[in-house]
Structure 1
């Protein structure tokens, strides 16, 4: 199972983010699987590395495959802060990813909304993956700039015996999100670092039970499609039945991939 590394990066002031990504892509032996711009935390972590993940502003998300599982040394001077997680991704999924990813993005403009947004009731918070007033305001703001696909990063930590329930959620999610064009395009098991060597700027002495178990990177045709899903009774049924009770902690970050940002309007990628 190939080992990839997820990096959340804050860059030094004045650093050109797109040029930084270009330089990473041109580095020998480095494969950039995902490169995206963090936009908003939809769910904030409540147990694991709260300060490390939420106290600053992330400029860049990278999912890399490389022999050293890290940022090329020559580029490290441009980084002011970093949070990283190693994850094993099935080789079959990784091999099919470029074609599958391109297809999702190509077909995004034809994905339909269900109409659930029109009768949505605002919730006080999006922490339970419900549609809040703040999330709707973010949707309206992002749509004006980027009415294109979004990519959601999920960091997941399960309760003991919670993973089987989350698997049931995943089965329901495939159908519920799928009819809105959503798709979990990367799913990986987190590889625990050695005891006392947690790969983040968080607490190094936390136990292995205080670390993430899984990551997923999920495609939606637009932020409106994501919010349409949250507003749907079909989604909230599986959310409350399987997801909420399975998770001890989670983080959900909305991002936009650079290749999508640079695609001209109405382009089929």
Structure 2
């Protein structure tokens, strides 16, 4: 469930990178392929929505192993870093009728668990912080 109250408490104009941690169902809940297949359908819809709001997909990768910290509960399948020019842009997308109608059903069908952590830049070798 989207943490609207927590997001509204942040600086709405600050750029953010969303750390996405995903664990997929073996089979999509709608029966249309695997959880990964449903996530690919979700991504095909959301990437243009992100770009329309000035954001971009920075990096994605398959999670391989926990290198440090507790293993229990940290068996993620996939990680994505998504830049948004503002918290407001992220909220606009996530609460849009198009997202709720067209994209979110694929996410729910594909992901057994999906955690999104808001990050604010403290340092980047690419500048800006």
For 1:211 and 1:179, locate their aligned partners in 2 and report how far apart those are by CA, in whole Å: 32
- Taking structure 2 as the reference length, the TM-score comes to 0.79
C-alpha displacement of 1:242: 0.5
TM-score in terms of structure 1 length: 0.40
Matched residue, 2:20 = 154
Q: Distance in 2 between matches of 1:215 and 1:136?
A: 21
- Superposed CA deviations along residues 78-110 of structure 1, whole A, max 9, x for unmatched, are xxxxxxxxxxxxxxxxxxxxxxxxxxxxxxxxx
Higher relative contact order (CA 8 A, sep 6+): 2
> For residue 242 of structure 1, what is the aligned residue in structure 2?
106
1:202 alignment partner, one of 49, 52, 70: 70
Q: CA deviation at 1:162?
A: 0.1
Give the CA RMSD over aligned residues: 2.5
Which of 38, 41, 44 is equivalent to 1:165?
Answer: 38
Listed as ranges, the matches of 1:59-98 within 5 Å are: none
| Aligned position for 1:225 | 89
Residues 7, 87 of structure 2: 8 Å contact kept: no
Bigger Rg, which one: 1
Contact 1:149–1:219 (CA under 8 A) maintained in structure 2: yes
Q: How many positions carry a matched residue from both structures?
A: 120
Structure 1 segments of 4+ aligned residues over 6 angstroms from their partners: none
Alpha-carbon contact 1:152-1:219 (below 8 Å) kept: yes
- Per-residue deviation at 1:259? 4.8
Which structure 2 residues correspond to residues 1-269 of structure 1 after superposition, within 5 A?
127=1, 129=2, 132=4, 134-138=5-9, 141-143=10-12, 147-160=13-26, 161-191=34-64, 193=65, 198-203=66-71, 211-259=75-123, 263=128
Deviations 1:94-150 (A, max 9, x none): xxxxxxxxxxxxxxxxxxxxxxxxxxxxxxxxx2x4x63x13532xx423xxx2311
